[in-house]
Amino acid sequence: MASWVLAFNEQARAALRRIDPWLQEEILDELDRLAQNPGQLRRGGASPVSIADLTRDRDNQRHYIFLSIETDVSTRTLQIIDIGHFSRVL
C-alpha cells in the first residue's frame, strides 16, 4: 500500500521551525510512519482533528510532542494542522 501524502500549513511549518533540529527530525520521522499507516492516528475526542503524540529524551530533558492532523481521504493526504511541544527536566 502506497504511503499517504504529508502536507503542512504555515502554522505547522512555523511550529516545527521553533523546535530543535534533532527533534524536528524525530517529528518528521514520526509523520513518515503515520503516512505509511494512518490507522495509527487517534480521534481527537471532541476536537475536529485526529491526533498523535511522541515522547523523546535528550540531555536530561523529556520532550512531549503533540500533533494535530486532519485526514483528507479523497487525496490520501495527512494535513498537519499544528504541533504542540512541552519539555521538562528528567
Count Cβ atoms within 10 A of the Cβ of residue 70 and give its class: 0-12 exposed, 13-18 middle, 19 or more buried. middle
Q: Is 83 in the site for another protein (CB under 8 A)?
A: yes
CA atoms of 76 and 69, how far apart (whole Å): 13
Q: Is 57 in the site for another protein (CB under 8 A)?
A: no
Cβ-based nearer residue to another protein, 1 or 53 = 53
**Per-residue DSSP letter, 20:** -
- Binding map of another protein across residues 11-50, x = CB under 8 A, - = no contact: xxx--xx---xx-xx--x--xx--x-------xxxxxxx-
Dig out the grid coordinates for 77 from the structure.
Answer: 493526504
CB of 39 to another protein, least distance (A): 16
